[in-house]
Amino acid sequence: MNVKVMETLTEDDVKNLYDLYQQEWWTKGRKLNDIKEMLKHTSLVIGIQDAEANELIGFGRVLTDYVYKALVLDIIVKGSHRKKGIGQYLMNYILQHHSLQHVRHFELYCRPEMEGFYELFGFSKDTGGVYFMRRSREKGF
């Protein structure tokens, strides 16, 4: 498969990202305007496009200080393109990105069924006693 990597998304790519998000339980319901705002404030955006079909088939993003921490978020591959190495390509691209070469810790969170995938890239559940915590803000709060 011939793929193209993009670090900025066109308006059409953003609409395709919205469509990708609507197909997953963990991103379903995200609104197009919120996605546009999120992209403005993301340190690194990576889109994977099927170069022949001109279609967004993979996406990931990173929030980082470029020194100590980089939080990898929203790794997603279009259902019809899974099991073809797109996710691995995307993760390798992020972890080897020139702007992230001095980052000490890459972090992410995932569901148990994805642990094996992320372990391929050196991620571990051993966080030295650090726990994931969350505080949610409801709309209109």
What local confidence, expressed as pLDDT, does residue 139 receive? 67
State residue 81 phi and psi, 5-degree precision: -115, 10
pLDDT in tens, 70-119: 999 999 999 999 999 999 999 999 999 999 999 999 999 898 899 999 99
- Domain at 3-119, CATH class: alpha beta
Mean pLDDT of 123-132: 86
In DSSP terms, 115 is beta-bridged to none
pLDDT in tens, 32-84: 999 999 999 999 999 999 988 889 999 999 999 999 999 999 999 999 999 99
Query: What pTM does this model have?
Result: 0.90
Domain boundaries, the chain: 3-119
